[in-house]
């Protein structure tokens, strides 16, 4: 299983190609086989890049909770798989993200890759800067972890 740390500003060319930072490439598990799935995030105005092994793990969890004969579940699946693509690293360590998917978050020439444990978020740098507030993060950390009993 992959585990990512760090964040990187990257350039994207006119074909939607970006070079995966070497630190992230080293953090990809060997079972992902340099294959990924990219999709629009459900909650945030960003894309999410899943190593293939993580994507498969997540889909198995999803399948265990979905009833294919339930109308609401089928609608959820339609939305979940919308704006999703399978991509691979090329011989120059580049990923090509379909322009249709990049346009969902208004990416043109630059993007920000942000580690999110077992996946990587892809942000428009301006959107990321507007959404990330260090004080808000401190308050969030306090509200989540400040209430824990010692011994953690």
Sequence ranges of the domains in the chain: 7-145
Instruction: Give pLDDT < 70 ranges for the chain.
Output: 148-152
Report the alpha-carbon distance of residue 152 to residue 146 in Å, rounded: 11
The pLDDT assigned to 149 comes to 62
Q: Nearest-CA neighbor of 106 among 130, 140, 75?
A: 130
pLDDT at 94: 96
CATH of domain 7-145: 3.40.1550.20
Instruction: Give dist(CA 80, CA 85) in Å, integer.
Output: 12
**Under 8 Å between Cβ of 19 and 27:** no
> In residues, how long is the chain?
152
- The string of pLDDT tens digits covering residues 85-106 is 999 999 999 999 999 999 999 9
The pTM is what? 0.89
pLDDT of residue 32: 83
């Amino acid at each position: 299983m992959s585990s990512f740390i760090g964040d990187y500003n990257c350039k994207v060319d006119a074909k939607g190609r970006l070079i995966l930072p070497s630190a992230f490439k080293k953090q990809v598990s060997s079972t992902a086989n340099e294959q990924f799935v990219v999709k629009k995030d459900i909650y945030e105005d960003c894309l999410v890049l899943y190593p293939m092994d993580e994507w498969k793990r997540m889909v198995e969890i999803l399948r265990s909770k979905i009833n294919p004969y339930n109308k609401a579940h089928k609608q959820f699946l339609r939305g979940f798989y919308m704006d999703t693509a399978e991509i691979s690293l090329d011989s120059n360590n580049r990923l090509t993200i379909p322009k249709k998917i990049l346009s969902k978050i208004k990416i043109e020439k630059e993007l920000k890759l942000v580690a999110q444990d077992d996946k990587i978020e892809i942000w428009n740098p301006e959107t990321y800067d507007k959404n990330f507030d260090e004080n808000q993060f401190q308050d969030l950390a306090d509200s989540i972890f400040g209430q824990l009993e010692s011994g953690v």
